[in-house]
Structure 1
Amino acid sequence: MSDEQDTLSEFVEATATKFGVPGVAVGVWVDGREVYGFHGVTSVENPLPVDQDTLFVLGSVTKPFTATALMRLVAEGRVELDKPVRRYVPELVLPDERAAAEITVLQLLNHTAGLDWRMSVDTGEGDDALAAYVAKMSESELIAPPGARASYSQVGYNLAGRIIEMVTGLTYEQAIASLLFEPLGLSHTSFATNDVITRRFAVGHNVGEDATPAVARQWKDSRGNNPGGGCASSVTDMLRWARFHLGDGRAQDGAQVLPAEVLQQMQVQTVELRGSTLGDAFGICWFLRDVDGVRTVGHGGSANGQFAELLIVPERNFAVVSLSNAGPDGGLAFNQAAVRWALEHYLGVVDRDPEPLPYDEEQAGEVVGSYANDMMALTIATDGAGLTIACGIKPEIRAAADTELPPDLPPADLGLLPGDADEYIVTGGGLKGQRGFFTRDENGVITGVDLAGRLFNRVPMASK
């Protein structure tokens, strides 16, 4: 093993141990070569060593596959980005008919369609799962008019998957395999549980109050959520995928899968993001962010006790992938640390968090309260000396679920940032480093908060 491999492996082992993560895999593409680090096991109950071919659930790192497949259809002239979604999915119905008629394909891909984050529905595992999911969208409220603002939406990406089905005549999973997995040689990437269980794969873990990781019993989300978060892959396949997006649109065997200009188009800003750790802007799917003067392109993902992070630095021909299998916060913290370490160690690029302001009682009084979206609830509280933020699944959603859901995140310290943009940063816990902002109405009253690109509307206080 080379000194470079040793250095990465030592970092991975020490950091995974620090955060209590049972199993991790990290891959780096730098100076034309691959470097890997692994630690731990696939499961605390049925342990196998994590290796370069171990499959992890990618969560939302699936979204770039969906977007890239759609862009291949765009390049072939079968889809147009500026056309209404209804051209391809005529059965689309939303509570707002005007919005249903106006939403474009691009607005799905850059999260400006005004659709909510998620829907709490399970439409089964049949080939009609996506069609049934889209039918349920008639009950999903919009958070904004199409094009009015960027707000991260799983719903939008699942609808994008339905476009792929309608245009190709294949199931979403068959289409992604044909358009991307097969030509790119991604042989350790799959949506099908029956395929994954014949290989070495990681299960999620959630850490309880006794700090012991327990296996998460729901391995992945339902099939209707596949376009937004249902893929499983290995660190080697993810590095191959990253190299494709760093390249000229050719597979490693020389086959032209996409025109180079289409890949580059995906990395060009389409809408600015405000106060987000995830990025300064959206391209087409990708989060775009300047880190220490260097432009990065990336996406993160979370599943039940599993986390994934992919970051690409086009101008340096560099990529890093980090996969981990512990929640509610250990895996997320590990991935952030691994990506930051790789940027600094290999490129000399330092990713620093901004410093929050000292606690101010008047400012705190404005933001304290409860906030919610369709699935999740946030509570911002104060003890008179500082602010905290707690995030969790709504009790009624948890009570109605047929399967185990990820645990809630415990309260973590939060600080407000300088300036007049109403931005904040989480300074502790599993969300450490996450930034967001508060939204005000025309009277200056705070009406919502954005966290991880998702809008949470303020919940009115119950009258006494």
Structure 2
Amino acid sequence: MKQETLSDFVGTKAEEFGVPGVAVGVLIDGQEVYASHGVTNAGNPQPVDEDTLFHVASVTKTFTATALMRLAAEGKVDLGAPVRQYVPELELADEAAAAQITVMNLLNHTSGLDWNLIDGGEEDGSLAAFVAKMSELGTIAAPGARASYSQAAYNLAGRVIEKVTGLAFEKAVATLVLEPAGLTNTFFDLDEVMIRRFAVGHTPDANGELRPARPWRANPFAARGNNPGGGIASSVSDLLRWARFHLGTGDGVLPTEALHRMREQTVALRGSTLGDGFGICWFLRDVDGVRTIGHGGSGQGQFAELLIVPERNFAVVSLANAGPDGYLFNQSATRWALAHYLGLTEHDPEPLPYDEARAREVTGRYEIDAMNLDIAVAEPAAEPVDGSVARSAGGSADGARLTLAVGIKPEIREASDAEMPADYPAATMGFLPGDGDEYVITEGGLKGQRGFFTRDDKGTVVGVDLAGRLFGRAPGAS
């Protein structure tokens, strides 16, 4: 039987998931292998190739963090210093937090800042305007107390870069990182993107049909104030070049020890699909006993995944232009590459059978500033359900199951002039063996996502972690 190639896999999976255009690149033994499939835009199609630009969203954070590491290596930034040493105008609703947050807290998501500002200052759109509005942003924990993924933290880190260099953030990152690392196909500026071949995101309409997403970069990523956490467009070829940089010795941009420090764990993560801990920006994850570092991103119908295996000098990049199944395509592609090229297999956790008492304990609404997360018990189906099938998905023999749905708050949708990504409908989730507070989602666009429930000192469930973010239980939710 002919061995499956990367091109075979990419074409088959893109068709299976219904993604209009995908691009995958692998770095193995110093050689680069590419496979692309489909088109940039279902309405105005051009073939996707390894140089096609995709909005890589939160993968941008790896560039922001590396720029700050260069400033630290040059003695211009102290990672342990309070952010106010560089941005004295910073004000938060919690004054104690504003005084205590350090630069490192921003880089490893331990700042305690909520996810992001709902309104980041669209009239101006600058980082200065974003920071000026941060007095409206809530905190979910004391600085350094725990990890919770925060876009706002990285936008604030971008303002640190501006203040220290005296340059606009985008120019500073280009000067500090992009140009010296040889990244010639990576841009913040939409004017640069639009004169090249670029992918358009796609999202399903009310009938489930994919349509081009508008705007090209979703709010809140449209404003410059969100560029540090999610504004870059890049290609598979340039992202593999970026992986080579992080697998190297710093190329005169960073001392080798500073580059490698980014891979060292600074804080642990519990029960997360994203990893076992944070380094400096990087998610750290063991696969079959081998350490990987990586970062993903999701924008307006576009998904990106960058995974590096330092001890094997290996990297894989996967980009897809449709939501929500672009995420599932990317996960499949990275898993296939790890197994095919390195013999490393990811093992999915098996949920426990449905437990009504535990399920009822966690049902209710949870929220961050822009999104609601609803956990509910779906009652047994009218028709009999095969017990083995139900149990394998975290359900009961008669079909009762726990579900999770997440979506943008209705009032934010109504207030926005832009189209926004579709919500994730209710999907089955199941508890995992152990202390009973960890879970896995077993179907839908978030299939495979893991997280855990947070309790207060009385044992009451007060929050749930999803995709590295803490959603607090809404008042009165039960």
Letter in 2 for 1:378: L
Residue by residue over 1:300-348, the C-alpha shift from the partner in whole angstroms, topping out at 9 and shown as x without a partner, is 1000100000000000000000000001x21000000000000000000
- Matching residue within 181, 189, 192 for 1:192: 189
After TM superposition, the structure 1 = structure 2 runs for residues 423-434 of structure 1, keeping only pairs within 5 Å, are 423-434=438-449
Checking the alignment, whether the CA contact within 8 Å between 1:115 and 1:155 is kept in structure 2 is: yes
Count of residues paired in the alignment = 454
2:75 is equivalent to residue 74 of structure 1: no
Change (3 A) 1:371 1:462: closer
Larger mean Cα displacement after TM superposition, 437-446 or 66-75: 437-446
Aligned-residue offset at 1:421: 5.2
Checking the alignment, whether the CA contact within 8 Å between 2:120 and 2:129 is kept in structure 1 is: no
Aligned-residue offset at 1:462: 7.1
Q: Distance in 1 between matches of 2:116 and 2:135?
A: 13
- Matching residue within 338, 341, 360 for 1:343: 338
- Counterpart residue number, 1:253: none
Aligned-residue offset at 1:122: 3.9
| 3-state secondary structure, aligned to 2:35 | strand
Q: Distance in 2 between matches of 1:160 and 1:212?
A: 39
Letter in 1 for 2:427: A
- Counterpart residue number, 1:372: 367
Larger mean Cα displacement after TM superposition, 69-78 or 116-125: 116-125
- Counterpart residue number, 1:233: 234
Letter in 2 for 1:278: L
- Counterpart residue number, 1:171: 168
After TM superposition, the structure 1 = structure 2 runs for residues 314-353 of structure 1, keeping only pairs within 5 Å, are 314-327=310-323, 329-353=324-348
- Counterpart residue number, 1:90: 88
- Matching residue within 232, 256, 281 for 2:277: 281
- Matching residue within 397, 418, 434 for 2:412: 397
Q: Distance in 2 between matches of 1:196 and 1:5?
A: 37
Aligned-residue offset at 1:353: 1.1
| 3-state secondary structure, aligned to 2:37 | strand
Q: Distance in 2 between matches of 1:96 and 1:307?
A: 34
Letter in 1 for 2:257: E
Q: Distance in 1 between matches of 2:50 and 2:349?
A: 35
Aligned-residue offset at 1:410: 1.3
Q: Distance in 2 between matches of 1:89 and 1:214?
A: 42
Aligned-residue offset at 1:5: 11
Checking the alignment, whether the CA contact within 8 Å between 2:325 and 2:445 is kept in structure 1 is: yes
Q: Distance in 2 between matches of 1:52 and 1:395?
A: 38
Q: Distance in 2 between matches of 1:84 and 1:460?
A: 32
Gaps of at least 5 residues in structure 2 are: 380-399
Q: Distance in 1 between matches of 2:101 and 2:476?
A: 34
Checking the alignment, whether the CA contact within 8 Å between 2:117 and 2:136 is kept in structure 1 is: no
2:468 is equivalent to residue 444 of structure 1: no
- Matching residue within 351, 357, 361 for 1:356: 351
Aligned-residue offset at 1:212: 1.9
Change (3 A) 1:5 1:418: closer
Letter in 1 for 2:256: A
Q: Distance in 1 between matches of 2:403 and 2:14?
A: 26
| 3-state secondary structure, aligned to 1:274 | strand
Gaps of at least 5 residues in structure 1 are: 251-255
Letter in 1 for 2:443: G
Q: Distance in 2 between matches of 1:167 and 1:352?
A: 44
Q: Distance in 1 between matches of 2:287 and 2:190?
A: 37
- Matching residue within 178, 181, 190 for 2:178: 181
Larger mean Cα displacement after TM superposition, 197-206 or 213-222: 213-222
Letter in 1 for 2:235: S
Residue by residue over 1:136-157, the C-alpha shift from the partner in whole angstroms, topping out at 9 and shown as x without a partner, is 1011111111111100000000
Letter in 2 for 1:352: H
| 3-state secondary structure, aligned to 2:451 | strand
Letter in 1 for 2:87: V
| 3-state secondary structure, aligned to 1:264 | helix
| 3-state secondary structure, aligned to 2:338 | helix
Q: Distance in 1 between matches of 2:85 and 2:372?
A: 35
Aligned-residue offset at 1:125: 7.8
| 3-state secondary structure, aligned to 1:158 | helix
Aligned-residue offset at 1:208: 2.7
Q: Distance in 2 between matches of 1:284 and 1:144?
A: 19
| 3-state secondary structure, aligned to 2:41 | coil
Q: Distance in 1 between matches of 2:186 and 2:62?
A: 14
Letter in 2 for 1:395: P
| 3-state secondary structure, aligned to 1:414 | strand
Checking the alignment, whether the CA contact within 8 Å between 1:5 and 1:35 is kept in structure 2 is: no
- Counterpart residue number, 1:123: 121
2:207 is equivalent to residue 206 of structure 1: no
- Matching residue within 108, 111, 121 for 2:109: 111
Aligned-residue offset at 1:411: 1.3
Identity %: 66
- Counterpart residue number, 1:63: 61
- Counterpart residue number, 1:162: 159
Residue by residue over 1:208-257, the C-alpha shift from the partner in whole angstroms, topping out at 9 and shown as x without a partner, is 3433210001111321110000100000000000010011111xxxxx11
2:249 is equivalent to residue 248 of structure 1: yes
- Counterpart residue number, 2:149: 152
Q: Distance in 1 between matches of 2:455 and 2:12?
A: 43
Aligned-residue offset at 1:45: 1.0
2:300 is equivalent to residue 304 of structure 1: yes
